[in-house]
């Protein structure tokens, strides 16, 4: 699943999001494209659960249609 995270701008942002997602799903694979402000997550969690994890890190997100 891929999400647009408009406020993500630095390594601290990506670290916070990765930590929050991995707390919800330790097996999740998280990949970032800072230039495009996108996060790709390979996880068994639902998009809603992943958005909640990103929100838990302090960032709003919108799913990107595949």
Determine the Cα–Cα distance for residues 55 and 52; give it in Å rounded to an integer.
5
Give the three-class secondary structure for 35: coil
Question: Which residue range(s) make up the domain with 18?
Answer: 2-64
- CATH number at 32 reads 3.30.70.100
Identify the pLDDT of residue 66: 62
Separation CA 37–CA 26 (nearest Å): 23
Whole-angstrom Cα distance, residue 18 to residue 59?
12
Domain count, the chain: 1
Over residues 2-19, mean pLDDT: 97
Q: What is the pLDDT of residue 65?
A: 77
Q: Where do we find the tokens 């647009």?
A: 4
Looking at the chain, how many residues does it have?
Answer: 66
Q: Which tens digits make up the pLDDT trace of 11-54?
A: 999 999 999 999 999 999 999 999 999 999 999 999 999 999 99
The vertex-31 CA angle with 17 and 64, nearest 5°, equals: 85
């Amino acid at each position: 699943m891929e999400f647009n995270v408009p406020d993500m701008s630095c390594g601290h942002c990506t670290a916070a999001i990765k930590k929050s997602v991995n707390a919800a799903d330790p097996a999740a694979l998280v990949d970032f494209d800072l230039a495009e402000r996108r996060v790709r997550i390979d996880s068994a969690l639902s998009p809603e659960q992943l958005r909640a994890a990103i929100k838990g890190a302090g960032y709003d997100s919108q799913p990107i249609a595949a």
